């Protein structure tokens, strides 16, 4: 009791002194006390306010990054050090995030040192506003060697967390690219991933490794003096999975997608304006590049008289034709010109059903760096579809399907997926319908629709007939095709029919045997 009475007396004395002493003296005593405390304390403290300055308008970006960083290190060991956390989930995020509650502390470790962040929230006097800040505490002896590397670590971790946690957007041009915003967007929630994609394992691995190397190649691209961008050309028949692959790439890298509709772009100036308005870490897609606008130009065989006549006609029309449309030159500058360097970490994707219809200047190295040929399903891709739609890892019909693939009855992923989706309630019926569709494909081949050289060679190799990834120019592909010797023998169409009927008979017997049991 005596100790308590002495404490109350001391507090009363402090209150009296605070009311009697001048404000300047009290401030001086407070500063002296803090300096004395800092001198004997083994820690250094750094405050990160929410706003820069005193007006409360200029947001401190470091405060936001610290908040994101504390979300990124959300694990049981870290969360256990804080007694109170505020949980939230916004419409622009796909995960639950936490915020350190007012006047609570979260501990962290860096370079074998223990650090801590304390979240301060103070109410401004005579106002409903709050003053927020984070205070970093670290060992005083190592503050010069720890502070800068640790803040760099916080910034990088926060940026990565923001990239993977934010809601991705799907943009399309609205026909007003020359104005402030030529894009409109909706949330991008396509479920396609490389795990669900019907591609051969080797092709998946090649694409994912290339995407990872690109995303981590900032220092490399700057060192070699190249714009940090990459071009992909996806070509193959309808239903081969070009759009699904683009969605899987966006989900894999956590990039936004800009679907550029060239028919809505009036001229090259608007095309450049749209490019400037795209953000970093995005995929710019132009689908069906060969049929959206007329971009194929024969620059070597066109007679000079034809060129001059066209120019005279344009002059007679007031040059509206040339200045009122997107030209091949404008699109080339879009993909690989000076204007393509106005942003970083961008992927440009062209899709087409017919690769030969695309102008060679658009698909050369430096513009379309990676060419992915997508086609019909091989056995691995077929098993992936069956696993996704029916939940089966194996089935007796797989042997018959493999025989159909060797006989030229391969279908596109869209065709197989539709059959499986329609009969997803009965796995046996679904697989029999797929076999029937493959049978129809084989019978069609017997009436003159023979396989192309590339298809036959790919089937012989035991992979998807058209699913390959090639890096380089089309000229190098033609050289490789000639070296491979073109189409091989492989048996007549009647032999394929006989093999198919034998397999189908064995399938029927096995099904009847299972029903009898």
Pairing status of strand 229-235 against strand 256-259: unpaired
Query: What secondary structure does DSSP assign to 479-504, as a single string?
Result: HHHHHHTS------HHHHHHHHHHHH
Same domain? 209 vs 65 = no
- Specify whether 125 is located in the same domain as 177: no
> Given this model, what pLDDT does residue 39 score?
63
Kindly give the confidence (pLDDT) of every residue in the chain, 517 residues in length, as a single tens digit, with 9 standing for 90 and above.
567 676 667 667 667 666 766 777 767 766 766 666 666 678 888 999 888 876 666 788 899 889 888 887 755 445 556 667 777 776 656 667 777 788 888 888 888 888 889 988 887 766 667 888 999 998 888 888 889 999 999 998 888 888 887 788 999 988 765 556 789 999 898 999 999 898 888 999 999 999 999 998 988 988 988 888 999 999 999 999 999 999 999 999 999 999 998 888 888 888 888 888 888 889 999 998 887 666 554 444 444 454 445 545 554 555 444 445 788 888 887 777 676 677 788 999 999 998 888 888 888 887 888 999 998 888 999 999 999 999 999 899 899 998 888 888 889 999 999 999 999 999 999 999 999 898 888 887 433 333 333 333 333 333 334 455 555 444 444 444 455 454 444 445 545 555 555 555 555 455 544 444 3
Q: Considering the domain boundaries, does residue 464 fall inside one?
A: no
Q: 238, 46, 1, 59: which is closest to 151 by C-alpha?
A: 46
Report if residue 438 sits inside a domain: yes
C-alpha gyration radius of the chain: 33
Tokens 């048996």 sit on residue: 491
Mind giving me the DSSP string for 418-446? HHHHHTTT-HHHHHHHHHHHHHHHHHHHT
Whats the size of the chain, residue-wise? 517
Q: What is the pLDDT of residue 421?
A: 93
Same domain as 181, residue 143: no
* 133 and 202 assigned to the same domain: no
Judge if 174 and 282 occupy the same domain: yes
Q: Which of 137, 165, 193 is the last residue of a domain?
A: 165
Shared domain check, 133 and 73: yes
**Is 277 domain-assigned?**
yes
Phi, psi values for residue 226, rounded to 5°: -115, 150
CATH of the domain at 344: 3.40.50.300
Provide the 3-class DSSP secondary structure of residue 198: coil
Answer with the one of 358, 373, 388 that is the final residue of a domain: 373
pTM assigned to the model: 0.70
Buried b (16+ CB within 10 A) or exposed e, 41-52: eeebeeebbbee
CA distance 375 to 190: 21
Other Cβ atoms closer than 10 A to 150 = 19
Query: Distance (Å, rounded) from C-alpha 369 to C-alpha 365?
Result: 5
CA–CA dist 514, 463 (Å, integer): 31
**Which is nearest to 341 in space by CA: 265, 280, 250?**
280
| Helices and strands: H and E segment counts in the chain | 19, 16
Task: Work out the burial of residue 443: count CB atoms within 10 Å of its CB; fewer than 13 is exposed, 13-18 middle, 19 or more buried.
Answer: middle
As a whole number of angstroms, the distance between CA 206 and CA 85 comes to 42
Chain centroid offset of residue 474 CA = 27
Task: Decide if 192 is inside a domain.
Answer: yes
| Strand locations in 50-112 (E) | 51-52, 58-59, 85-88, 97-100, 104-110
Tokens (6 digits) for 76: 């049981």
**CA angle, 103 as apex, 100 and 105 as ends, to 5°?**
60
Do both 288 and 405 map to the same domain? no
- Residue 142 DSSP symbol: G
Token code pair at residue 357: 């219809």
- Domain identity same for 414 and 364: no
Q: Is 257 exposed, middle or buried (0-12, 13-18, 19+ CB in 10 A)?
A: buried
Same domain, 139 and 239: no
140, 165, 190 - which closes a domain = 165
Write out the two tokens for 213: 């190397």
Say if 122 falls within a structural domain. yes
User: 257 and 138 in one domain?
Assistant: no
Query: Are 427 and 337 members of one domain?
Result: no
H or E element in which residue 24 lies? helix 23-40
Residue 320 within a domain = no
Instruction: Give pLDDT, residue 68.
Output: 86
DSSP lists the bridge partners of residue 118 as 105, 135
In a domain, 187, yes or no: yes
Residues 137 and 179 in one domain: no
pLDDT value at position 292? 67
What's the CA gap between 185 and 257, in Å, rounded?
A: 9
**Block residue for tokens 């009697």:** 20
pLDDT value for 500: 54
Boundaries of domain holding 430: 379-443
Number of domains in the chain: 3
pLDDT given at position 466: 42
Q: Is 454 a member of any domain?
A: no
């Amino acid at each position: 009791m005596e100790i308590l009475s002495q404490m109350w007396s001391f507090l009363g004395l402090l209150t009296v002194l605070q009311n009697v002493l001048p404000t300047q003296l009290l401030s001086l005593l407070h500063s002296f006390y803090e300096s004395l405390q800092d001198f004997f304390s083994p820690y250094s403290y750094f405050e990160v306010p929410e706003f820069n300055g005193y007006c409360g308008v200029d947001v401190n970006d470091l405060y936001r990054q610290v908040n994101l960083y504390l979300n990124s290190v959300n694990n049981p060991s870290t969360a256990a050090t804080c007694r109170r956390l505020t949980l939230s989930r916004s419409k622009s995020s796909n995960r639950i995030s936490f915020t350190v509650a007012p006047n609570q502390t979260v501990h962290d470790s860096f370079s074998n040192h223990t650090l801590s962040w304390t979240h301060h929230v103070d109410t401004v006097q005579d106002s409903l506003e709050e003053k927020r800040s984070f205070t970093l505490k670290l060992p005083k002896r190592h503050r010069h060697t720890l502070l800068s590397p640790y803040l760099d670590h916080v910034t990088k971790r926060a940026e990565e967390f923001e990239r993977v946690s934010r809601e991705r957007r799907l943009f399309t041009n609205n026909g007003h690219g020359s104005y402030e915003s030529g894009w409109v967007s909706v949330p991008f929630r396509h479920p396609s991933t490389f795990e669900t994609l019907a591609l051969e394992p080797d092709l998946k691995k090649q694409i994912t490794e290339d995407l990872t190397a690109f995303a981590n190649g900032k220092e490399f691209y700057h060192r070699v003096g190249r714009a940090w961008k990459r071009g992909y050309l996806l070509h193959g028949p309808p239903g081969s999975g070009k759009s699904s692959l683009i969605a899987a790439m966006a989900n894999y890298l956590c990039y936004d997608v800009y679907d550029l509709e060239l028919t809505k772009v009036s001229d090259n100036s608007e095309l450049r304006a749209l490019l400037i308005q795209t953000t970093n870490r995005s995929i710019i897609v132009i689908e069906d590049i060969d049929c959206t606008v007329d971009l194929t130009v024969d620059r070597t065989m066109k007679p000079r008289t034809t060129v001059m006549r066209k120019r005279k006609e344009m002059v007679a029309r007031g040059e509206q034709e040339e200045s009122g449309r997107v030209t091949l030159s404008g699109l080339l500058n879009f993909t690989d010109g000076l204007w393509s360097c106005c942003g970083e970490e961008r992927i440009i994707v062209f899709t087409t059903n017919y690769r030969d219809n695309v102008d060679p200047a658009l698909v050369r190295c430096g513009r379309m760096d990676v060419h992915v040929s997508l086609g019909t399903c091989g056995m691995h891709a077929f098993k992936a579809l069956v696993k996704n739609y029916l939940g089966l890892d194996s089935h007796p019909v797989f042997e018959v399907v493999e025989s159909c693939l060797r006989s030229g009855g391969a279908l596109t992923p869209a065709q197989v997926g539709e059959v499986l989706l329609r009969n997803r309630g009965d796995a046996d019926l679904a697989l029999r319908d797929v076999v029937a569709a493959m049978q129809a494909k084989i019978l069609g081949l017997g009436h003159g629709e023979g396989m192309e050289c590339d298809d036959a060679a790919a089937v012989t190799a035991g992979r998807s007939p058209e699913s390959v990834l090639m890096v380089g120019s089309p000229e190098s592909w033609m050289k490789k095709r000639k070296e491979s010797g073109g189409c091989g023998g492989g048996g007549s169409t009647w032999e394929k029919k006989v093999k198919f009927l034998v397999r189908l008979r064995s399938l029927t017997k096995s099904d009847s045997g299972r029903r009898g049991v």
